[in-house]
Amino acid sequence: MSASFYVGALELTTGAVLVCAVMTLWRRQVRTIVTMLRLQGVSLALVAGVLAWHEHDLGLAITAALVLGVKGALVPWLLRRVIRLDPRSRETAPLINVPASLVSAAFLIVVSYVVCSKLTALAPSAASRLVPIGVATVLVGYFMLVTRRRSVSQIVGLLLVDNGIALVTFLLTAGVPLIVELGSTLDVLLVVVVLQVLVVNAGARHGSFDLDEMRELHD
């Protein structure tokens, strides 16, 4: 693989991750958001794949497959089930409206570029230059958690954070040791399962699962 193709592929896939993240902020249809998440998972897997190809790293290749399976297929599937069970969560209800969210996202992306200068400086490379995109994904995800009211949006936000960190991992260190990678992916999966069970059970038991109603526990 030529160097320019590698860089191009890397930039394209990495950029796709961030674009998907921003799209989740933009779109209101939850179904679309989940689709974006699936696309992001696929892009992430592609990033890992490109890197694995470039570095000839078997571990990373396995990771790429794992990511593709879990984040590109399994997790979106679980989320679809949540949406199906909870008709109210078809459309998001942002605490901050969409244009403001997008502006904030832009600001967050700027912040992440500023922050990452020190990280890139340690070992400049084609991959590490792209780290700000990962960090921006983390921040956008976090922002989504803070500002989106539906339970699915929150799970998606959490996953965005996770994907962002995974992206950083790939770009900076070409993945963490496999055991850790396995563990963390499994953890993410389990968290989603747990959250899904919570939503499903609560829906079955208490009629609905509305984050707005979940403010009974307070001082």
Task: Output the smallest distance, CB 218 to other proteins, in A.
Answer: 3
Give yes or no for residue 209 binding other proteins (CB under 8 A). Answer: yes
Name 116's Cβ contacts closer than 8 Å, sequence gap at least 6.
131, 132, 135
Give yes or no for residue 180 binding other proteins (CB under 8 A). Answer: yes
User: CA-CA distance, 17 to 44, in Å (whole number)?
Assistant: 6
Give yes or no for residue 98 binding other proteins (CB under 8 A). Answer: no
Which of these, 44, 73, 80, lies nearest to 155 by C-alpha position?
80
- Determine the interface stretch with other proteins among 10-18, 44-52, 83-91, 186-194 (rule: CB under 8 A): 186-194
Nearer to other proteins, 5 or 206 (CB): 206
Task: Output the smallest distance, CB 122 to other proteins, in A.
Answer: 5
Give yes or no for residue 106 binding other proteins (CB under 8 A). Answer: no
For residue 196, how many other CB atoms are within 10 A of its CB? 19
Binding mask 152-171 for other proteins (x = CB under 8 A): --x---x--xx--x--xx--
Query: What is the residue type of 197?
Result: V
C-alpha distances out from residue 132 to 117, 172, 175, 191, 209, Å: 8, 11, 16, 26, 35
Subset of 118-147 contacting other proteins (CB under 8 A)? 118-119, 121-123, 138-139, 142-143, 145-147
Q: At 210, phi and psi to the nearest 5? A: -115, 120
Nearer to other proteins, 12 or 103 (CB): 103
For residue 105, how many other CB atoms are within 10 A of its CB? 21
Name 79's Cβ contacts closer than 8 Å, sequence gap at least 6.
34, 37, 152, 155, 156, 192, 196
Q: What is the dihedral of CA 82, 195, 167, 45, to 10 degrees?
A: -50
Distance of CA 202 to the CA centre of its chain: 25
- Determine the interface stretch with other proteins among 6-14, 61-69, 83-91, 199-207 (rule: CB under 8 A): 199-207
Nearer to other proteins, 99 or 216 (CB): 216
Nearer to other proteins, 88 or 149 (CB): 149
Query: Which residues form the interface with other proteins (CB under 8 A)?
Result: 95, 111-112, 114-115, 117-119, 121-123, 138-139, 142-143, 145-147, 149, 151, 154, 158, 161-162, 165, 168-169, 172-173, 176-180, 183-184, 186-187, 190-191, 194-195, 197-198, 201-202, 205-206, 209, 211, 214-219
